[in-house]
Each structure stands twice: as C-alpha cells, then as structure tokens.
Amino acid sequence: MINDYYDDFAFWHLRVFGSAIKEEMGLVEYVPKTLFLRSSSVHLRLPASSRMVRFYSEQQKQQKEGEKIDQLRMGQSSSKGGRGSGKKGTSTGLFFGFHPFAIFASLTLLASGYMMIVKPVLQMTDNTMKKPKESKSEEEEESKAEAAAVGYTKEEIDAFPFDKKTVVFVLGGPGSGKGTNSERLVGDFGFVHLSAGDLLRAEQKREVSQYGALIAHYIREGLIVPHEITIGLLRNAMMDRKECDRFLIDGFPRNVEQAKAFEETVCRAQKVLYFECPETVLLERLLNRGKTSGRSDDNIESIKKRFNTYVNDSKPVIEAYEKEGKVITISCQDSVDAVYEKTRKSVEQFLPKKK
Ligand SMILES: Nc1ncnc2c1ncn2[C@@H]1O[C@H](COP(=O)(O)OP(=O)(O)O)[C@@H](O)[C@H]1O
Ligand SMILES: O=c1ccn([C@@H]2O[C@H](COP(=O)(O)OP(=O)(O)O)[C@@H](O)[C@H]2O)c(=O)[nH]1
C-alpha cells in the first residue's frame, strides 16, 4: 500500500510501500518494503533497507511545526545538513543521507559505464557466463557468429605453434617511426608486419564489431585498449598468416600488463626494437602526419594524452625488456633512410636476411 510520498523537486517522486508502525509527536514511522523512484522518463524500484522511514503526516505539514518536531528532526537526522534537511516534509532526504537525484545520477553513470566498457570486456573474457541456449539451432547460429567475429576456435588456437615463430616487438613513442621502419623491414627480412594500432583501427571500423565505440574512445583519449581485445586481434592476425614464421609486432605491448598477458597466452618476443626520439621531434612529426592521416588522435589534445600514456605506461615495458637484455635502441632523429639503415643493421645481428 502507498503510505506517503515525497515530492520536493519538480520531477522526482519517491514512494514508499510499507506499513505504518507508529505515530508519535507528528511523525509516522514506517517499515519500508519497496522504494519507488520516478522521474518523467525513468522509473526505478529499489529494495528498501530494514531501517525505519519517518514521514510527517499531511496534517502536521500544514500545522506550524512546533519545537518538538524541530528538535526531533535535528536529533534524528543521521545526515547532518543533508539535502532537504531543513525543508518541510523532506524526512525522506534524512533517511537516505543524500538526495534521490544523486542515487539516480550514480545509477545512470554506473549503467552507462557498464554498457560501454565493462560489458564488452566481460563478453570477450568470460564466455562461461552465458546462459544455456533455448535450442540447438540458436546455439549453432550463435557459435557461427562468434567464430566469424573471433576467427578461430579454442582448439585451433591451442594447436597453433606460436612458440615456433620469431616475434620482434617494435616500440617507441608515438610518431617515432615504428610503422615507417617496420614496413621496410618486411622487404628485407620477410617479416609480417602487424601494427597493433592498425588492427585496432580496422576493428573499430568493422560494422558488426561490438568493440567499435570502445576502441574509438580509447584511441581518441590516448589510452590503452583492454589487452584482451588487442591480443585477440594480434593472435588472429598471426594465425591468418600461418605460413610465415617472422612477425614484427609494432606498437605493442604498451604496458607491462599487456606484455605479461601476451607472453602467457601467445609467446615470448626474441627482441625489442626501440626507436628513441625526443618529444619535440615526435610532436612535430605527429602534427605533420595529422594533416593527411585522418586519424582521430593526431591532434594536439590527443597527442598530449598519448605522451602521458607513453611515459607512464609504455616506457616501463622498455625498461623491463632492457633488464632481460632484449632491447636494441635506435635513435630516430636522422633522416628516414639513415634511421632505416641503422635498423636494418641491428636486425641483421640476430636474424639472417631473407631472399
Ligand atoms: N626519420 C624520420 N624523419 C622524419 N620523419 C619521419 C622519420 N620517420 C618517420 N617519419 C614520419 O613521421 C611520422 C610518424 O612516423 P610513423 O612511422 O607513422 O610513426 P609511428 O608508427 O611510430 O607512430 C610519419 O609521417 C613519417 O613519415
Ligand atoms: O597495443 C596497443 C596499440 C595501440 N593502442 C591504441 O592505439 C593508439 C595508436 O597507436 P599506434 O601504434 O597506431 O600509433 P602511435 O601512437 O604509436 O603513433 C594508441 O594511442 C592507443 O590508444 C592500444 O590501445 N594498444
């Protein structure tokens, strides 16, 4: 039964379903069962806590509130100075300790965060949470759709000889020449060049991708896309080129977590090519590239964020690989040809050229 309502703000209503247990000194006490929050467009039903809700009856609201009531309100308010605490008929505000609008705003933020970020990642990482299918054909349809999106079955992935492949990571700040040099190494050494950034941008554009919006957000903000997505794309791309045994992985790993996850689920890298370059040079190159690249992140705001991510997250990866003795550092301040010449010579030290 509806016992009372709260209508302090134009578009918010809170209804309490419960039973009155006591009426004393102008207050009615209820044991709430359900709270019903309503705005013009949103209706929420919340389970009530076992705490009492105290309401002024309509009659008392209209009477001059005497000292007793004032004292009582002050004394019983668990949320000192909480929103609505000084207003007529707003004891619900006291009960919550904050305004119902704050509850709605928090719930909305949580829900949108879940839909945009948490859900896609969970879907990728935890297939076991899926409920059993209604029928076999539904299950078959879904597994076909998943196979198309994911590319390979678990059995195929497990059987793939990742550890027999030569993997070289290509690292360095944004605009340091990772892509430029990787492309040239392909011709000389027979590498397959896999740019993690390119793979993410391609996935973002794929119309049926469930990660499109998420990837777009991370790239524009210069953040690192959750590694499950990037590693999934890299692994598929390696498996797509199963006849090849040399892979240049450009722009990955970008943090220590990614590096660990790749080593645990795919394979270890033989070497790391690190293109070292001062930020001023990087900035100039990126702004220049931005004139024609059409990339959402080749603009000054995104570049600053990318530099931050690089310093805070990506440099520690290079330092970690340095401790393992895997890093070959190449200064990239010379001309394109001069930098490539250094790069080629460095790679020749650990890998024979291919005809
Ligand atoms: N040694 C170099 N000197 C001048 N410009 C370069 C050099 N190497 C690359 N560039 C240019 O700088 C920009 C960034 O290079 P790119 O290979 O795309 O970097 P990354 O893949 O590390 O982001 C590109 O426009 C590229 O043509
Ligand atoms: O493993 C990766 C590689 C790239 N990115 C994202 O892709 C953007 C562009 O990366 P790319 O390597 O293409 O370009 P760079 O920043 O090195 O110029 C990065 O800023 C990240 O937002 C990512 O999240 N994980």
- The predicted-structure confidence for 299-337, as pLDDT tens digits, reads as follows 999 999 999 999 999 999 999 999 999 999 999 999 999
Q: Which residues pair with 37 in a beta bridge?
A: 14, 44
What is the percentage of the chain residues whose pLDDT exceeds 70? 59
Predicted pLDDT of residue 42: 43
Least confident of 44-48, 266-270, 287-291, 331-335: 44-48
What 3-state class would DSSP assign to 259? helix
Per-chain mean pLDDT for the chain: 75
Decide if pLDDT at 88 tops 50.
no
Atom 9 of ligand 2: nearest residue by CA position: 197
Predicted pLDDT of residue 210: 94
- The predicted-structure confidence for 15-70, as pLDDT tens digits, reads as follows 444 444 444 444 444 444 444 444 434 444 444 443 334 444 444 444 544 443 34
Tell me the ipTM for this assembly.
0.98
* Ligand that comes closest to the CA of residue 218: 2
Distance CA 274, CA 26 (A): 75
Question: What is the average per-residue pLDDT within 256-280?
Answer: 98
The answer to whether 339 and 285 are in contact (CB under 8 A) is no
Atom 12 of ligand 1: nearest residue by CA position: 285
- The predicted-structure confidence for 182-212, as pLDDT tens digits, reads as follows 999 999 999 999 999 999 999 999 999 999 9
More confident residue, 52 or 104: 104
The atom number, within ligand 2, closest to the CA of 302 reads: 20
The atom number, within ligand 1, closest to the CA of 333 reads: 1
The answer to whether 56 and 91 are in contact (CB under 8 A) is yes
Decide if pLDDT at 269 tops 70.
yes
Decide if pLDDT at 111 tops 90.
no
Tokens describing residue 24:
């004393």
Instruction: Report residue 237's pLDDT band, with 50, 70 and 90 as the boundaries.
Output: very high
Predicted pLDDT of residue 167: 98
Sign of CA pseudo-dihedral 261, 264, 266, 271: positive
CA 172 to centroid of chain Cα atoms: 23
Q: How far is the CA of 250 from the centre of ligand 2 (A)?
A: 9
If one residue of 181, 203, 205, 224 were mutated to test the ligand 2 pocket, choosing by the most ligand atoms within 8 A of its CB, it would be 224
What 3-state class would DSSP assign to 344? helix
Question: What's at 146, amino acid-wise?
Answer: E
Instruction: Report residue 217's pLDDT band, with 50, 70 and 90 as the boundaries.
Output: very high
Instruction: Report residue 234's pLDDT band, with 50, 70 and 90 as the boundaries.
Output: very high
More confident residue, 183 or 8: 183
Instruction: Report residue 116's pLDDT band, with 50, 70 and 90 as the boundaries.
Output: low
Least confident of 111-125, 282-296, 306-320: 111-125
Atom 7 of ligand 2: nearest residue by CA position: 197
The atom number, within ligand 2, closest to the CA of 286 reads: 18
Predicted pLDDT of residue 180: 98
Distance CA 143, CA 150 (A): 10
Residues with a CB atom less than 6 Å from ligand 1: 172, 174-180, 285, 288-289, 332, 335-336, 339
Beta carbons within 10 angstroms of residue 100's beta carbon = 24
Predicted pLDDT of residue 107: 77
What superfamily does domain 162-348 belong to in CATH?
P-loop containing nucleotide triphosphate hydrolases (3.40.50.300)
* Residue that the structure tokens 């929050």 belong to: 37
- The predicted-structure confidence for 76-87, as pLDDT tens digits, reads as follows 333 333 333 333
> Residue 196 belongs to what H/E stretch?
helix 196-205
For residue 347, which of 172, 189, 180 has the smallest C-alpha distance? Answer: 189
Q: How far is the CA of 180 from the centre of ligand 1 (A)?
A: 6
Predicted pLDDT of residue 103: 64
Distance CA 273, CA 171 (A): 6
Predicted pLDDT of residue 312: 98
Decide if pLDDT at 100 tops 90.
no
Predicted pLDDT of residue 220: 98
Q: Where are the domains of the chain?
A: 2-97, 162-348
- The predicted-structure confidence for 31-41, as pLDDT tens digits, reads as follows 444 444 444 34
